[in-house]
Chains A and B, each alone.
Chain A
Amino acid sequence: MARHPAPLPLDEQTVPGGAAEASSAAPSRRSFLGVGAALAGGAGAGLVGYGLGNSQTGVAPSAVAAASSEGAAPDAPWAGSVIPFIGAHQAGISTPPQAHATFVALNLTPGVGQDGLRRLLRQWTNDASRLQRGIPVLGDPQPDLASPPSRLTITVGLGRGALVEAGLADRAPGWLAPLPAFSVDRLEPRWADGDVLAQVCAEDPIILAHAVRALLLSATGIAAVHWMQRGFRRPVTSTSAMRNLMGQVDGTVQPVAAELEQSVWIGADGPDWLRGGTSLVLRRIRMDLDTWDALDPQAKEQVIGRRMTSGAPLTGTKETDVPDLAATRDGLPVIPEFAHIRHAAVTTAGQKILRRPYNFDDTPAAGSSAEAGLLFAAFQADPVRQFVPMQQRLAAGDLLNFWTTPIGSAVFAILPGPAEGEILGQALVG
């Protein structure tokens, strides 16, 4: 049961009432609907699971009507859907993943200090609270690009450098540092670390681009872009499974809702300013698609331990079947010793990570057909306790390493969600 795909909490705004209502939604009003089947790509169930029935009929219709010049109905079921910004946890973590994501890391301008960090977080709080409701930011140069909200989420984190610049290094948890080196790493500095992170996700890439730019304008004079990484996956309305560009069904096994307190959210044992927050490990992992495609389909399935088409474990028939790692055939394990899921599998909630990966697809190098891979975004309460041992096991025994190479790595402390009237990072710099 432990690793059976199951519901995640859903942050979606499910009450009617438009922009103002959405902003005041208390965490208690968040609905916890079953989205496991949707995350798992279960046909049909996705629509119900993501609460789109509500979105279509009830979510923020007035906000959309007010914001769209014609007052016309939104063109997609998610267009008017508002994900609340206020709450115990930031949105964009347990939120069912949107189709598009931009991860942008900034470095604080040396000398801006704690005041600079506070000023940035104050502006980003204001920006995010408006943009997630489809409302332009203050002084928005492109107000027409702010709506419809399209399930926009803005998730903010701090790297170790932010605390150092703010003179708060003593308050950084031990894990807020570059990960230990793994044997498989071929890290490039241009994708490494960063002082401040914004993970911006939306179903609509135009809404997303506008939100990212609004955040960068607010950072003017305080912080400058270090790297930006863009990714995509299936829209939330899709009833097909999320697939990565190796063709695998990806994102099946996740912590269940009841496990998130132990696996994802930082509790009383963490720093006070991070309670309700989490950590993000973002690994940029290249895929060598040309050599991968040279494998025959059966070999590909052995590498992961799951079927390519259905995503079912080699010991089952459906994607949601729990893999039987002990099963043997003719004395050999059905799920091979070298299989990815064998080395990645963990049993206790405290070991599990929440994976929210996005595909990337950039300009191929000469002689290659693809520069593609995964923006492997993992949320966990403690990367050293959860991510590191998992990655060490994978580095040591996972055959998938043959076709995948980590080229970027960054760790961020994801701030708790703000209460009404608070800024992000209130307990640190507020």
Chain B
Amino acid sequence: MSNHTIRAVTALAALSVALGLGACGTTTATNPVGAAASTAAGTAASTAPGSAAKATGQAASAQVADAWVKAVDTGMTGAFFVLKNTGSTPIHLLSASSPISPMMQMHETVMGTGGAMAMQEKPGGFTIPAGGSHEFKAGGDHVMFMGVSTAVKSGTTVTFTLAFEDGSTLPVTAEVRTFTGAKETYVPGATTGTNSMPGMTPTPGTSGTTASHG
């Protein structure tokens, strides 16, 4: 899969994404509330029960909290969560897979030319240092589901599996939520990018497709 770029085409959309980001492309987990939530018990736990015991390698030190996926009818959507490395060596998230999507990618959101926010694949994935934690959030880094063909409804759950550099994997259960923030309007073909993202179908008769990937 070649690098692709999807660009916000209206000033309003760009503005809303920029606001969602806070600072262009900065993804440091500076939100203390997010950090607090990642340690909270109960419904906030996202790593499937029992999986921690079975996980090996890097996955054994990976802890996911507050995982959620944006509700979508079909097409693409994103997963957001806090990934914590409880181990003493770095862990490296490479890829993800899910029964609901034929292809998943690691995405980052960057400031494109002209100041519009754009998301693009981050082929190398994400490294989380020992004891560190990384926030995958709307308007920032996220894990992308492409080609979703069955409606992903709010109030249900989606499962996906995170795969690390050493081949170890971690199953995650995410809550599906309606999310209206950090929208982008896309016009496939209007940018220099390849825009070949599967599952991204422009709505006929409109100037662009609204696809909130976060």
Contact = CB atoms under 8 A, between A and B. Distances in A.
Contact of B154 (A67, A119, A147, A420): A119
Contacts of A125: 43
B41 interface: yes
B36 A119 contact: no
Given A135-B37, A139-B70, A139-B80, A129 B43 contact: yes
Interface in A105-159: 118-123, 125-126, 129-130, 133, 135-139, 141, 143, 146-147
Interface string B151-175: 0011110000000000000000001
A148 to B, nearest CB: 11
B138 interface: yes
Contacts of B41: 20, 23-24, 420
Given A20-B41, A118-B155, 15 more contacts: A19-B36, A23-B43, A63-B36, A119-B155, A120-B155, A135-B44, A138-B177, A139-B181, A141-B181, A147-B33, A217-B180, A222-B154, A420-B41, A420-B42, A421-B43
Given A66-B36, A123-B154, A217-B180, A130 B44 contact: yes
Given A136-B33, A222-B155, A23 B40 contact: yes
Interface in A50-65: 63
A221 interface: yes
Interface in B28-57: 31-37, 39-44
A66 B32 contact: yes
B156 A119 contact: yes
Interface string B63-95: 000101011000000001000000000000000
B26 interface: no
Nearest to B66: A138
4 residue pairs, one from A and one from B, having the closest CB atoms? A119-B155, A66-B36, A138-B68, A220-B178
A20 B43 contact: no
Contacts of A218: 154-155, 177-178
B179 interface: yes
Contact of A126 (B138, B175, B181): B175
A430 to B, nearest CB: 12
A69 interface: yes
A218 B156 CA distance: 12
Given A138-B175, A141-B180, A221 B40 contact: no
Contacts, number: 97
8 contacts: A23-B44, A63-B36, A69-B32, A122-B175, A136-B37, A139-B80, A139-B181, A218-B178
Nearest to A63: B36
B155 A122 contact: yes
User: What's the interface size class on A, roughly?
Assistant: 35 or more
B40 A19 contact: yes
Contacts of B31: 143
A86 interface: yes
B155 A139 contact: no
Contacts of A136: 33-34, 37
Interface of B: 31-37, 39-44, 66, 68, 70-71, 80, 138, 153-156, 175, 177-181
A222 to B, nearest CB: 7
A342 B138 CA distance: 59
Contacts of A139: 68, 70, 80, 138, 177, 179, 181
Contacts of A138: 66, 68, 80, 175, 177
A122 B158 CA distance: 14
Given A139-B68, A139-B80, A66 B42 contact: no
Interface in A375-430: 420-421
A86 B44 CA distance: 13
Given A122-B155, A126-B43, A143 B33 contact: yes
Contact of B40 (A135, A141, A217): A135
B22 to A, nearest CB: 11
Contacts of A217: 178, 180
B42 A221 contact: no
A66 B175 contact: no
A387 to B, nearest CB: 32
Nearest to A116: B155
B33 A146 contact: yes
A112 to B, nearest CB: 10
A212 B79 CA distance: 25
B42 A135 contact: no
B42 A86 contact: yes
Given A24-B41, A123-B155, A130-B43, A67 B180 contact: no
A207 B80 CA distance: 24
Contact of A67 (B33, B39, B44, B68): B33
Nearest to B44: A130
Contacts of B66: 138
Nearest to A71: B32
A118 B156 CA distance: 9
A123 B40 contact: no
B35 A66 contact: yes
B155 A135 contact: no
Given A139-B179, A217-B178, A129 B42 contact: yes
A420 B40 CA distance: 13
